[in-house]
């Protein structure tokens, strides 16, 4: 239990601090950061697989086109999520990005309906309250909060696809990055692709930061997978708010993004929905344990 809490908690702490890493690369186009993230993840994950001699999963995908197609879909959702998030951080929209990760648990509840899960009354109330918060943000701003909704939808669909896939975290992330790898490498190497070719063409610090994209991407995902197998979902559901909370505080206090008025009201409604959702989940877990 303690190992699981520490692993999952550390994963969310790393994700929470991720805007600091991306802001250090602010002068580099988002697609170029994404391409480096994919390429260096392939290198890092390949080294991990080599050290662990973990190649048995290749037999599972060799003659299973349906499994491969499911990972193509999850790779596309992961890519979309990364693109939106990288762009939003470097465009000074960290607070809007945190909205996506605050409402992701409630989006996951809705996607659970697709797997035949039945929602309890408290969950329906939390979803309805969050929807009213999103509606308030939409009406007050005159447009949909597309950054938050895009992040929540893409990450929710990614989680849904991975939940039904028969591969572990390391193997699954490896095949997803391998699927995106040819496009990412081509973007970095082919002239006229839109890449600024920052790797090796700028300071040593920038080059090292781009190379660090591999472990920065893979390590928290592996820590999360380790922790998720060892702690109840109710505990994991509480821990997952660490990441967006840290990002929100960074956006307000470190990067001085505007926050108040209508946006404060909308976020307060959504936070109330999350409090209701968490309380309902903890109560349910306590009742089950008592039995």
Indicate the Cα dihedral angle 227, 230, 234, 240, nearest 10°. 0
Q: What is the mean pLDDT of residues 55-84?
A: 87
Say what the pLDDT of residue 37 is. Answer: 92
- Where does residue 250 rank: exposed (0-12), middle (13-18), buried (19+ CB within 10 A)? buried
Q: Is residue 127 a contact partner of residue 119, using CB atoms and an 8 Å limit?
A: yes
Rounded mean pLDDT of 206-228? 86
* Torsional sign, CA 57, 60, 65, 66: negative
Percent of the chain with pLDDT over 90: 34
- Average pLDDT over the chain, rounded to an integer: 85
Rounded average pLDDT over 150-174: 82
Please give the residue that has the higher pLDDT: either 258 or 281. Answer: 258
SS3 144: coil
Token match 């409630």: residue? 106
pLDDT > 90? residue 94: yes
- Cα separation, 73 vs 161, in Å, equals 8
The tokens describing 121, both together, are 């009354």
Q: What is the pLDDT of residues 101-115, one digit of tens each?
A: 888 888 877 777 776
Residue 194 has pLDDT above 90, yes or no: no
Distance CA 4, CA 89 (A): 29
Q: What phi and psi values does residue 53 have, to the nearest 5 degrees?
A: 50, 50
Is-contact 94 257, C-beta < 8 A?
yes
User: What's the pLDDT at 253?
Assistant: 93
pLDDT > 70: what percent of the chain? 92
What is the predicted pLDDT for the residue at 197?
Answer: 61
Residue predicted with more confidence, 217 or 190: 217
Q: Quick one: how far is CA 261 from the chain centroid?
A: 28
Q: How far apart are the first and last CA of the chain?
A: 20
Q: Do 40 and 211 form a contact (C-beta atoms < 8 A)? A: yes
Query: pLDDT tens digit string along 135-156?
Result: 999 888 888 899 999 999 998 8
Task: With CA atoms as reference, report the closest residue to 217 among 34, 26, 28, 3.
Answer: 34
Q: Closest Cα to residue 276, out of 237, 219, 244?
A: 237
- In this structure, how many other beta carbons lie within 10 angstroms of the beta carbon of residue 111? 16
On the question of pLDDT at 182 being above 90, the answer is: yes
Which of 81, 176, 224 lies closest to 184 in space, CA to CA? 176
Cα–Cα dist 165/177, whole Å: 15
113 — phi, psi (to 5°)? -60, -30
State pLDDT tens for residues 224-272.
877 877 776 667 767 888 899 999 999 999 999 988 888 999 999 999 9
227 vs 47, which has greater pLDDT?
Answer: 47
Distance CA 114, CA 102 (A): 21
């Amino acid at each position: 239990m303690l190992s699981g809490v520490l692993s999952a908690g550390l994963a969310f702490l790393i994700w929470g601090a991720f805007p600091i890493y991306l802001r250090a690369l602010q002068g580099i186009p988002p697609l170029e950061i994404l391409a480096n993230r994919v390429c260096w993840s392939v290198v890092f994950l390949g080294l991990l697989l080599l050290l662990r001699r973990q190649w048995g999963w290749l037999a599972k995908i060799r003659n299973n086109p349906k499994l491969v197609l499911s990972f193509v879909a999850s790779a596309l959702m992961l890519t979309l999520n990364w693109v939106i998030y990288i762009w939003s951080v470097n465009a000074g929209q960290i607070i809007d990005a945190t909205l996506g990760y605050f409402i992701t648990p409630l989006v996951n509840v809705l996607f659970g309906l697709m797997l035949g899960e039945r929602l309890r009354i408290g969950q329906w109330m939390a979803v309805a309250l969050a929807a009213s918060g999103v509606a308030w943000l939409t009406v007050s701003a005159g447009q949909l909060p597309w950054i938050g909704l895009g992040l929540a939808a893409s990450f929710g669909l990614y989680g849904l696809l991975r939940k039904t896939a028969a591969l572990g975290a390391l193997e699954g992330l490896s095949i997803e990055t391998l699927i995106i790898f040819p496009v990412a490498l081509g973007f970095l190497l082919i002239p006229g692709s839109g890449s600024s070719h920052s790797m090796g063409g700028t300071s040593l610090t920038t080059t090292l930061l781009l190379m660090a994209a591999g472990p920065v991407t893979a390590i928290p995902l592996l820590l999360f997978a380790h922790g998720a197998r060892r702690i109840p979902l109710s505990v994991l559901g509480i821990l997952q708010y660490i990441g967006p909370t840290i990002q929100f505080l960074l956006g307000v206090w470190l990067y001085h993004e505007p926050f108040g008025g209508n946006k404060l009201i909308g976020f307060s409604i959504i936070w109330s929905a999350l409090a209701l959702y968490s309380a309902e989940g903890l109560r349910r877990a306590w009742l089950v344990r008592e039995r």
